[in-house]
Structure 1
Amino acid sequence: MKLKTNIRWLTILLGMAVVSSLYAEEKTKTADIVTVDAVIAKDVQDRQPVGEASSFSSDTETVVGWTLVKGAEEPIEITHVWSYKGEEMSAIPLNIRSSAFRTWSRKTLFGLTGTWTFEVKDPEGKVLATQTFEVTESPAPTKSKATTK
């Protein structure tokens, strides 16, 4: 009877050690993530951001949140979170498939003027990078004065 009890305890302790080890390994994967760069741009060409800016006019239809992630264990998922005036508008999960990986998401602005925030989060929700940008009113078209001769 005592042997059975000892075996049960040994099995429980061994199980706890395995679970603990797996948990520590998962934590290590995300702890190694280093976001090298996160930018807001008008587009992406050849996997690089084009038209980086911190302010866009309201006639800009979409912007791109571009991220370079280094040090991630494979596979891992990050999230691009887009917020407008402090309210989350969308959260886009993106798979990171190598230790140095470029990825991006697009956000339609719907002509909403004001402050926007772009965050890159790891699987636990820790913010790795933040970019804030403004959308401003497009200038009204100016009427040209007709001249007559």
Structure 2
Amino acid sequence: MLDNLLRNCTLQAICALQFMQLYAVELSADELRKSPVPDAIVARAQFTTEIVNREPVDQVVKLDSQVTRVFFFTDLRNLQGRTITHRWEFEGEVVSEVEFNVAGPRWRVYSAKSLNPGESGKWTVFVIDESGWPLHASIFEHGVMEE
């Protein structure tokens, strides 16, 4: 009886693995069809404390907790006619999404986020296209003591 049970479990496990492999191949092929054109890229992306003449003035990786505003800048290439989103996440939770309609072969955009003083944690911005395909991600830490 135990022998039969082990055989059945083994067969079920093999079937499940084959199904998962088949599904994974189909999913990968489907995702590849959705992927952006190879020349469509995020040429630059960075957090900054200010934007002047459509350009970031500095690059932020860590911010003191007293800083209450941060910008995320992206320089997009060959994405004209597409909708790109900056998805802001704090500690893994989506807190806002800002959409941009890209109107040219080189398009610079930025979004801003107000930060709560004393709030510490990891912020991530994902640059995603209209299908949800991630083109880029950047991370900074807020509330980190200056060294």
TM-score, with normalisation over the residues of structure 2? 0.70
Equivalent of 2:106, from 71, 76, 100?
A: 100
Deviations 1:6-47 (A, max 9, x none): xxxxxxxxxxxxxxxxxxxxx69x435211111000010011
Matches within 5 A, 1:87-126: 87-111=93-117, 112-126=119-133
Structure 2 unaligned spans of 5+: 1-33
2:44 partner letter: D
Residues 1:83 and 2:58 aligned together:
no
Structure of larger gyration radius: 1
Q: What is the distance in 2 between the residues matched to 1:114 and 1:92? A: 21
Q: What is the distance in 2 between the residues matched to 1:98 and 1:50? A: 23
1:60 to partner: Cα distance: 0.9
| Identity over aligned pairs, percent | 27
Q: What is the distance in 2 between the residues matched to 1:85 and 1:72? A: 29
Matches within 5 A, 1:1-149: 30-31=36-37, 32-73=39-80, 75-111=81-117, 112-136=119-143
Q: Secondary structure at the match of 1:36?
A: strand
1:138 to partner: Cα distance: 5.9
TM-score, with normalisation over the residues of structure 1? 0.69
1:115 partner letter: K
Q: What is the distance in 1 between the residues matched to 2:127 and 2:49? A: 18
Q: Cα RMSD (Å) of the superposition?
A: 1.8
Alignment coverage as a number of residue pairs: 111
Q: What is the distance in 2 between the residues matched to 1:41 and 1:137? A: 16
Q: 1:72 to 1:137 in 2, by over 3 A?
A: closer
Residues 62, 144 of structure 2: 8 Å contact kept: no
2:78 partner letter: G
Residues 59, 138 of structure 1: 8 Å contact kept: no
Deviations 1:63-116 (A, max 9, x none): 00000000113x221000110000001011111110111000001112321111
Q: What is the distance in 1 between the residues matched to 2:85 and 2:144? A: 29
Residues 84, 128 of structure 2: 8 Å contact kept: yes
Q: What is the distance in 1 between the residues matched to 2:64 and 2:102? A: 31
Aligned residue number for residue 14 of structure 2: none
2:52 partner letter: Q
